Amino acid sequence: MPRLALFALDIAAVSVLVFGLYFPRHRRRDLVVAYLGVNVGVLAVAGSLSSSTVGAGLGLGLFGVLSIIRLRSTELDQHEVAYYFSALALGILGPLSGGPLWLAPSLMGLILVVMYLGDHPRLFRGYRRQVMVLDNAVIDQLALVAQLERILGARVHAATVERVDLVNETTVVEVRYSYAQNRKTLAGAAR
């Protein structure tokens, strides 16, 4: 496949990733720019290096260095990290693809399909994770889970205490929970 066609395929794939999947689902404008910039930057560098003798090894090194720099600059949620790596991978796949003509487009398509399915709003939609600050110091794990289930109106799967302040009577806890029913039914039952 001609290089320009692979570059165009990369631009199309990252556009689907960013404008078709990420932004409609998460609405973070600042990361749209980051994903596009990282993809096109990696595409340009990998494209210029693909004709040299260093090729794939340097491409993978570039992948690692950019990942470390970006991931240390701001805190990202795990789904945002997945989109970030997908944008990087798409940028590397186009210029550094060696092998059958169908390989790079197929791998780009695979990345898009996995991101579409893995981040689909209907997948595990009742499951949540959040950090909560309780206005009492709770040491007993069973009492903590019971209190969280009462507050959230949900089933608690894990509660990890991050900090207990006995002086100010607070507990900071990371809780993973799920709703057994939809929120409208829970809201109606609470009345």
pLDDT digit string, tens, across residues 21-36 = 999 988 888 889 989 9
Give the separation between CA 126 and CA 132, rounded to whole angstroms.
Answer: 18
**Do 49 and 58 form a contact (C-beta atoms < 8 A)?**
yes
End-to-end Cα separation, the chain, in angstroms: 63
Q: What is the pLDDT of residues 121-156, one digit of tens each?
A: 888 888 888 999 999 999 999 999 999 999 999 999
pLDDT at 185: 44
Residue 133, number of CB atoms within 10 A of its CB: 11
Number of helical (H) and strand (E) elements in the chain, helices listed first: 8, 3
Asked whether the beta carbons of 12 and 60 are under 8 A apart, the reply is: no
Phi (first) and psi of residue 24, to 5 degrees? -60, -30
Separation CA 108–CA 151 (nearest Å): 44
| Stretch 46-68: mean pLDDT | 64
Give me the percent of the chain exceeding a pLDDT of 90.
45
Cβ proximity of 116 and 163 under 8 Å: no
Q: Which residue has the tokens 């260093």?
A: 54
- Tokens 């069973």, residue? 142
pLDDT in tens, 64-101: 666 665 555 567 777 888 898 899 889 888 777 677 88
Dist CA 131 CA 44 (whole Å): 40
Alpha helices (H) along 50-140: 55-73, 78-96, 103-118
For each of the domains in the chain, give its residue range(s) and CATH number, in order of start.
3-118 (no CATH), 127-190 (3.30.70)
Residues 14, 15, 21, 24, CA torsion sign: positive
Q: What is the model's pLDDT at position 190?
A: 45
The Cα 181–Cα 64 span in angstroms is 42
CA-based R_g, the chain, Å: 22
